[in-house]
Amino acid sequence: MSIDATQKRIPGLSKSRYTGFLSCPRLGYLRAFPALFATLCTVDPSRQALFDMGNRVGELAREYYPGGLLIGADHLHIPEAMRQTQEALAAGREVIYEAAIEHDGILVRVDVLRRLDHGFFELTEVKSGTKVDPARHVPDVAIQLHVLESAGLPVGRAQLMHIDRDYVHPGGDTYRPRDLFASEDVTDAARRHIATVLPSALRDIALWLRAAEPPEVSVKNSCRGCEYYEGYCRPRCPEFPVGELGRATGAIACLEAAGIADLCELAPNSLEYARLAGLLRTSSLGPRVLRMIDAVRGGQLRVEPGLGESLIRLAFPLHFLDFESWSPALPVFAGTRPYEQIPFQWSDHRLLVDGTCDHAGHLADGCDDPRIEVAASLVLRFADAGSILAYHASFERERLRDLACLAPALEAPLLDMAKRLVDLETIVADHVYHPDFHGSFSLKSVLPALVPGCGYDGLAIRDGGAAALAYERLRRLPPGPEREGLRADMIEYCAQDTRGMVEIYQVLRRLT
């Protein structure tokens, strides 16, 4: 989509647009012209929940510095917010929340602006994570520091406030901000960014904003989480972009340097293929990458000979286990920490040696901490022997160990379950590739590719993030048809995960 001369108005920058440009020039451009590209932006419920949690954390952070003045909180009436900010500064307010400061076309909203001694200010940026990420967070603070000081507000300290991972919730609906938050001084790092990165970054951004088209970028597997991936980037990509090689960054760079954008363009006897094979010879990812390329070029499933050996090691009865968990940024249950994983549901399909299969599951009910009842129900179901297959099994293993620590009386059987776990994802990734995986070995990608028609279309809940949001909603719903309908949707989704694993296993057996 081009921007013609009648539409072109160079928009101002904000801290989110600035950091967007740094992470991806195309993302920054698309965010800068919302009137043109908003319809291509997908904000799913899980992403919206993150935004909402960020707002809630920001509100709690204000209680760390009580008594401040909140400026125009809706971010819509910017001139009014800037006027209120200037009046508050002129009146000598000690603490201002969401201060609106503009300089040279860059507008920032400072989460907490606090006066220090001798005319200096303290800038505090609040994040809902549990640590400072220098690559993402320092530029955010730096652009604010640049604007404030350019506007005549000297900054003595710039800090990033985040949730303290060691905070233990005492229970109830209130939090102690002085215990909940930790702060890290990033003044020096922000000033280094201003001195070494910001001038050239602002020049590049100015050029990009004047362009008629969004910048060209290399699309990677990691881009799939971006709000513009499905609406803008994916339709403009080749069918099999080289970015599907994922963590094989050297291979991607090698192909891009040769001008190859689509894996289908790589001929098996070409000089480029020989160079790539040589590059991958000493890489642990080499066999997987070549298998991916050969599968795409051949347009069909590729299977390695070692698959049968991996499957024959499994002991019957085979269990196929999946957990659903909730990890609230602000802990809810007494004794829990921020982002602690709270398993609330499991599903298990059990396959016997004669081919028969049965199913069992558990979904916690009520508002109390569900972990003890989840642990007890697991011990009853898995009292037999046999291998337990899970997809990305490290997650289930950690949850079982957590439950064992929480319930000492059930420690032995829970740890025995953890020892019996086998990662089905690893078996697939090490031995099988289908072009329709499109670079992903997730269950949501592998299942419909290996078992056509056995996906998640038509389900009310389609991923783990939606399941966690459903549990959060379930806890608030009173008894009645709406609650029972939501429970049924949650049970159906979790069961589909384990049913799908059984189907994948059956396909793998037929391939050996």
The pLDDT tens digits for 371-400 are 999 999 999 999 999 999 999 999 999 999
Burial grade of 61 (CB within 10 A; 0-12, 13-18, 19 or more): buried
Residue 6: is its pLDDT beyond 50? no
The sheet with strand 357-363 has its strands ordered as: 357-363, 342-351, 318-326, 388-390, 421-423
> Is residue 419 domain-resident?
yes
* Nearest CA-CA partner of 432 in 422, 441, 443, 420: 441
pLDDT in tens, 32-54: 998 899 899 988 888 888 889 99
- The CA distance from 98 to 185, in Å, is 19
Q: Is residue 494 part of a domain?
A: yes
What pLDDT is stored for residue 31 in this prediction?
Answer: 92
- The band of 2, judged by pLDDT with boundaries at 50, 70 and 90, is low
Does 223 reside within a domain?
Answer: no
- The answer to whether residues 328 and 471 belong to one domain is yes
70 and 95 assigned to the same domain? yes
Nearest-angstrom CA–CA distance, 389 and 425 = 9
Q: Is the per-residue pLDDT at 5 higher than 50?
A: no
In a domain, 94, yes or no: yes
Say whether both 364 and 269 belong to one domain.
Answer: no
Closest residue by Cα to residue 404 from 385, 431, 379, 421 = 379
Please choose, from the candidates 140, 40, 508, 492, the residue with its C-alpha nearest in 3D space to the C-alpha of residue 304. Answer: 508
Residue 229 lies in a domain: no
Give me the pLDDT at residue 300, please: 95
Q: What is the 3-state secondary structure (H, E, C) of 323-354?
A: EEEECCCCCCCCCCCCCCCEEEEEEEEEECCC
For residue 346, give its domain range: 301-512
What is residue 215's three-state secondary structure?
coil
At 221, the pLDDT band (50, 70, 90 cuts) reads confident
**Do 358 and 428 belong to one domain?**
yes
* Predicted model pTM: 0.91
204 with 326, same domain?
A: no
Label residue 303 left, alpha or beta by phi (over 0 means left) and psi (-120 to 50 means alpha).
beta
- Mean pLDDT confidence for 94-111: 96
- What pLDDT score does 220 carry? 87
pLDDT (mean) for 275-279? 87
Q: Looking at the predicted structure, is the pLDDT value of residue 494 above 60? A: yes
According to the model, what pLDDT value does residue 7 have?
Answer: 52
In terms of domains, do 114 and 249 share one? no
CATH no. for residue 453? 3.30.420.10
Each residue of 10-31: pLDDT tens digit? 888 999 999 999 999 999 999 9
CB 475, CB 483: distance < 8 Å: no
Task: Among 279, 300, 321, identify where a domain stops.
Answer: 300
Residue 483, phi then psi, degrees to nearest 5: -65, -45
pLDDT digits (tens, 9 = 90+) for 356-366: 999 999 999 88
* Same domain flag for 287 and 306: no
Q: Is the pLDDT of residue 4 over 60?
A: no
Q: Is the pLDDT reported for residue 280 higher than 90?
A: no
- For the segment 329-358, the average pLDDT, to the nearest whole number, is 97
The reply to whether 227 falls in a domain is no
**What are 401-451's pLDDT values in tens digits?**
999 999 999 999 999 999 999 999 999 999 999 999 999 999 999 999 999
Least confident range from 64-68, 285-289, 420-424: namely 285-289
Residues 316 and 287 in one domain: no
Dihedral (CA of 19, 23, 29, 31) sign: negative
How high is the pLDDT of residue 147?
Answer: 98
Is the same domain home to 162 and 97?
yes
Residues 322 and 287 in one domain: no
- The answer on pLDDT for 459 being more than 80 is yes
Of 247 and 436, the structure prediction assigns the larger pLDDT to 436
CA pair distance 111, 100, nearest whole angstrom? 10
The pLDDT of residue 376: 98
pLDDT at res. 75: 64
Tally of domains within the chain: 3
Q: Which of 193, 210, 227 is the last residue of a domain?
A: 210
Domain assignment present for residue 232? The answer is no
- 317 in the same domain as 430: yes
Mean pLDDT calculated for residue range 217-234:
90
507: pLDDT strictly greater than 90:
yes
Q: What is the mean pLDDT of the chain?
A: 94
Residue where a domain terminates, one of 194, 210, 226: 210
Give me the mean pLDDT over the 171-192 stretch: 95
Residues 175, 249, single domain; the answer is no
Q: What is the pLDDT of residues 107-124, one digit of tens each?
A: 999 999 999 999 999 999
pLDDT digits (tens, 9 = 90+) for 149-180: 999 999 999 999 999 999 999 998 899 999 99
Can you give the pLDDT at residue 415?
A: 98
Of 125, 132, 173, give the one whose Cα is nearest residue 330.
Answer: 173
H helices of 368-423, in order, are: 371-381, 393-406, 411-420
424 has which bridge partners? none
Q: Is residue 2 part of a domain?
A: no
Percent of the chain exceeding pLDDT 70 equals 98
